[in-house]
């Protein structure tokens, strides 16, 4: 009876997500199985809600002694024993001095972070498998100098900030990203062990950091110049499109742009397309060119081609099922195309 009641409770807790989220959170992949983790996250979400600018205060800050702090307590205990056994008042005084210092320390550690303002300035996109970077501004009010503040995503190398002379500092923190799409970063950990390293004060804040992650570029051979198919799948025939007469076996010396990629990709031999007219210089990076592969691989290959085309200065367009971006060139175009690739809906997952 009790067991079933418990399992019902757990199931309810597990099924109800902390907040409706349309985008996947990296940290929630496996952790959602852990009841305590979920409860903790829910509690944190209530206590320290998401915002792009956050001032650290007592509701967000936590403080505990570090391992060195526990060692310090051990030394205090040993000193107390020494003092008691030798009935030595100066050792007692020293012991109590250290005890009092231990009591004063958390106030300093806390003050080092309290009132600190963190603001997300922007994020930089990245390719899956690479590091995405967030630019964060850390600033202080008042006269108190802030020292040795660590910003990090847990288990990753973070960055360390001092606010002694300056009142405001910008810093970059990177997070490894694995999957393409919009990725919500986990809570950022802000911590400080100032002044003696015996206490650690930390906060886990959600600065609403969201990365746009492009597919991982995977090479799929040279650019498919002139290889665009006009099968009418998308009902959009390129004006002035080239009709090719026939396929002929590939011979050394044939232009790479004339290779029949689709056939090659389907596993047949290498064929060259025999054109009757001059080929179109514009490049279409087409979903259908990569038939036979799973969608993620296709996106990765297309991503690689986009980068190649941009590098070689070729005007290119993108065709995905339901999306078509006309041929163009330049960083903005690339951005647009890569975003389309990043946000292409997942299938079969």
Partner 1 sequence: MVSSKELLPRESLLWIFAAQFVALLPQFTQLPLWVAFAWAFAVYWRLEVFRGRRDLPGRTLRLAVIVLTITGLALSYRHWFALEPMIALLAISFTLKNLELVSRRDAFVSLLLAYFVSATLFVQEQTIPYALYGLLCVWVITAALAAQLGSSSARPRRALGISVRLLAQATPLMVLLFLALPRLGPLWSVPQDTSAGRTGVSDSMAPGDFTELSKSTKPTLRISFDGPIPPPEQRYWRGLVYSEFDGRTWRQGFGVDPHNGGRVYWKTGERLLPQMGPRYRYQVIQEASRSPWLFALAQPASETQGVGETADDRLVKRTPVYSRFAYEVRSWPRETLQAPVSLSNAERRLNLQLPSFGNNRTREWMASLRNQGLSAESVSTQLLAHFNSAFTYTLKPPALGADSVDEFLFASQQGFCEHFAGSYVFAMRAAGIPARVVAGYQGGEWVSGEEYLLVREYDAHAWAEIWFDGRGWQRVDPTAAVAPERVRNGLESAAGEEFLQESFFPLHRIGVLSKLRLKWDMINYRWYQTVVSFDADRQQNYLRRLLGEVSPLRMALLFAVPTLIILLGIGLWIARSANGRKLPPAERLYQRFCQRMARVGVRRRPGEAPQDYARRIASEKPQLADYANAVTAAFEQAAYGGDSSAQKTLRKLLRWHFWLRRTATDSRELVGL
Residues near partner 1 (CB under 8 A) are 55-59, 67-68, 71-72, 74-75, 78-79, 81-101, 103-105, 107-108, 110-111, 114-115, 117, 141-142, 147-148, 150, 152, 154-158, 160, 162, 164, 189, 191, 193-198
CB of 170 to partner 1, least distance (A): 18
76 or 259: CB nearest partner 1: 76
Residue 25 three-state SS: strand
66 or 229: CB nearest partner 1: 66
119 or 279: CB nearest partner 1: 119
CB of 344 to partner 1, least distance (A): 35
CB of 66 to partner 1, least distance (A): 9
CB of 43 to partner 1, least distance (A): 19
155 or 347: CB nearest partner 1: 155
CA–CA gap between residue 155 and residue 98 (Å, rounded): 32
The gap between the terminal CA atoms of the chain, to the nearest Å, is 37
Helix axes 67-86 and 89-113, enclosed angle (nearest 10): 160
CA–CA gap between residue 348 and residue 332 (Å, rounded): 31
CB of 72 to partner 1, least distance (A): 6
69 or 227: CB nearest partner 1: 69
In eight-state DSSP terms, residue 267 is T
Q: Which of 261, 248, 271, 329 is nearest to 291 (CA)?
A: 261
CA–CA gap between residue 92 and residue 105 (Å, rounded): 20
49 or 71: CB nearest partner 1: 71
The tokens for 208 are 């609403």
CB of 272 to partner 1, least distance (A): 57
CB of 151 to partner 1, least distance (A): 10
Q: Which residues contact 56 (CB under 8 A, 6 or more apart)?
A: 113, 114, 115, 116, 117, 118, 190, 203, 205
92 or 131: CB nearest partner 1: 92
Neighbours of 280 (CB within 10 A): 18
38 or 200: CB nearest partner 1: 200
CB of 1 to partner 1, least distance (A): 45
Radius of gyration of the chain (CA): 30
Residue 176 three-state SS: strand
CA–CA gap between residue 206 and residue 187 (Å, rounded): 5
Is cis: bond before 195, omega within 30 of 0?
Answer: yes
Cα Dmax for the chain = 107
The tokens for 268 are 């047949």
């Amino acid at each position: 009876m009790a067991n079933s009641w418990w399992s019902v409770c757990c199931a309810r807790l597990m099924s109800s997500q902390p907040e409706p989220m349309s985008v996947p959170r990296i940290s929630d992949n496996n952790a959602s199985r852990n009841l305590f983790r979920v409860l903790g996250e829910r509690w944190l979400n209530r206590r320290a809600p998401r915002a792009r600018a956050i001032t650290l205060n007592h509701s967000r800050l936590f403080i505990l002694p570090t391992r060195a702090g526990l060692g310090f307590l051990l030394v205090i205990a040993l000193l107390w024993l020494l003092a008691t056994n030798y009935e030595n008042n100066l050792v007692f005084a020293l012991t109590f001095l250290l005890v009092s210092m231990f009591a004063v320390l958390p106030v300093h550690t806390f003050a080092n972070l309290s009132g600190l303002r963190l603001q997300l300035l922007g994020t930089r996109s990245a390719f899956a498998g690479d590091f995405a970077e967030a630019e964060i501004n850390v600033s202080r009010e008042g006269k108190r100098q802030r020292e040795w503040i660590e910003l990090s995503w847990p288990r990753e190398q973070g960055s360390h900030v001092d606010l002694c002379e300056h009142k405001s500092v910008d810093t970059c923190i990177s997070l490894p990203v694995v999957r393409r799409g919009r990725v919500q970063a986990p809570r950022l950990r802000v911590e400080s062990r100032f002044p003696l390293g015996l206490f650690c004060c930390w906060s886990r804040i959600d600065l609403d950091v969201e990365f746009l992650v492009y597919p991982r570029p995977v090479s799929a051979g040279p650019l498919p110049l002139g290889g665009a198919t006009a099968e009418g799948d998308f009902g959009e025939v390129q004006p002035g499109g080239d009709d090719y007469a026939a396929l002929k076996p590939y011979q050394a010396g044939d232009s790479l742009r004339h290779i029949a990629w689709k056939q090659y990709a389907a596993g047949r031999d290498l064929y060259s397309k025999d054109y009757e007219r001059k080929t179109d210089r514009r490049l279409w990076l087409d979903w259908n060119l990569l038939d036979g592969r799973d969608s993620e691989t296709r996106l990765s290959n297309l991503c690689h081609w986009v980068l190649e085309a941009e590098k070689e200065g070729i005007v290119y367009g993108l065709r995905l099922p339901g999306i078509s971006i006309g041929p163009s060139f330049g960083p903005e175009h690339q951005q647009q195309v890569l975003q389309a690739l990043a946000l292409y809906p997942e299938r079969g997952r």
